[in-house]
Amino acid sequence: MESIKGRFAPSPTGRMHLGNAFCALLAWLSARSQGGSLLLRMEDLDPQRSRESYARLLMEDLRWLGLDWDEGAGVSGEQEELYWQSRRKEEYEKALAMLKQQELLYPCFCTRAELHAAEAPHASDGQVIYSGRCRGLTPQERQAKEKHRRPAIRIAVPEEVISFTDGCRGVYAENLARDCGDFILRRSDGVFAYQLAVTWDDGVMGVSQVVRGSDLLSSTPRQIWLQRLWGFPQPQYYHVPLLLAPDGRRLSKRDGDLDLGALRSRIGPEELIGKLAFWAGILPKEEAVAPRELTSLFGWEKVRKQDILLDGSMLDF
């Protein structure tokens, strides 16, 4: 049997928060409990939002938690830059060229206002389902528009249902054309889209297990379809519950009091791991524990399926 390769793939756009730590613990446990390895890839494609200083803090926070990794950012010597998406643009050009050869790409000149016109339908993740209005432009029309606006690159999706079994959430299916629509692979500012970079990287890096927040569940059919076009095997997916703030919002980098910078001054790593493992359903009661002590207790059947609302008492530490 081939060994499992899991991954951490954070965006260094702020300090790691409690929800990121929760997801990282489950990714680590899932791989390590099966004798697998992990890699760390920095998803720092967006130059406006990513900072190398945040990336360094992310690595330090993972180490503080006791969550180690075997290859990637911070450990792979001269190879290290292969694991920073901002340094992989040539790779993504290649990925895009393969799809261009299959005649699936077209330029889209729509402005944000045009995309968000009142009648535009929305997918389950709140994204606009693209109407396909630039798909049928003639070469002359494209040329004329290019004088005024640099286009985004979209991929034309088929009327096809992509279905997969998520290890945490069960069967999930989407009709690409109806539920998602033609999606962007490169933005008009030249930045490669998340869907392209994450799918290509998981494929070429041999990732066989993807553990991430359930907010990304609806991205997965698109990614599976891209994998098939590029000829990559399909990893096993586990979309884990989100941690919700007491008012029901999902935790974000704006919740500064729940980021690792603040938490590390109030609580030790094993206490924090114990809380996360208890919330996840892995520990029957809250107690301080190191991640490696949890590997024999871990099983996906124990992990909660629903998002976890953090009430005030849970955050009283």
d(CA 12, CA 54): 5
The rounded Cα 137 to chain-centroid distance in angstroms is 33
254, amino acid identity: R
Shortest distance (Å) from residue 225 CB to Zn ion: 20
CA distance 175 to 74: 39
Nearer to Zn ion, 77 or 136 (CB): 136
Query: Taking the complex as a whole, how short is the minimal distance between the CB of residue 109 and Zn ion, in angstroms?
Result: 6
Rounded to a whole number of angstroms, the minimum distance from the CB of residue 237 to Zn ion is 30
Q: Which is nearer to Zn ion, 21 or 191 (CB)?
A: 191
| Residue 70 or 114 having the CB closest to Zn ion | 114
CB of 136 to Zn ion, least distance (A): 10
**Closer by beta carbon to Zn ion, 37 or else 195:** 195
Shortest distance, CB of residue 103 to Zn ion, whole angstroms? 18
Residues with Cβ < 8 Å from 162, sequence gap 6 or more?
173, 174, 176, 221, 222, 224, 225
CB 41 within 8 A of CB 75: no
Between 134 and 276, name the residue whose CB sits nearer to Zn ion. 134
Q: Are 27 and 235 in contact (CB under 8 A)?
A: no
- 92: burial class by Cβ within 10 Å (0-12, 13-18, 19+)? buried
Report in angstroms how near the CB of residue 133 gets to Zn ion at its nearest.
Answer: 5
**Helices (H), ranges, 47-179:** 52-65, 89-101, 112-115, 139-146
Nearer to Zn ion, 115 or 288 (CB): 115
Tell me whether residue 108 or residue 210 sits nearer to Zn ion (CB atom).
Answer: 108
CA distance linking residue 170 with residue 175, whole number of Å: 17
Paired tokens of 313: 């008492």
Give least dist CB 110 to Zn ion, A: 3
271 touches 264 (CB < 8 A)? no
Whose Cβ is closer to Zn ion: residue 87's or residue 116's? 116
| Shortest distance, position 111 Cβ to Zn ion, whole Å | 9
Q: H/E element holding 269?
A: helix 269-280
- Does the CA dihedral 195-198-204-206 come out positive or negative? negative
Q: Which of 243, 315, 265 is nearest to 286 (CA)?
A: 315
CB nearer to Zn ion: pick between 123 and 244: 123
Q: Which residues pair with 212 in a beta bridge?
A: 239
- The residues of the shown chain that bind Zn ion, judged by CB under 5 A, are 108, 110, 134
Distance CA 256, CA 263 (A): 9
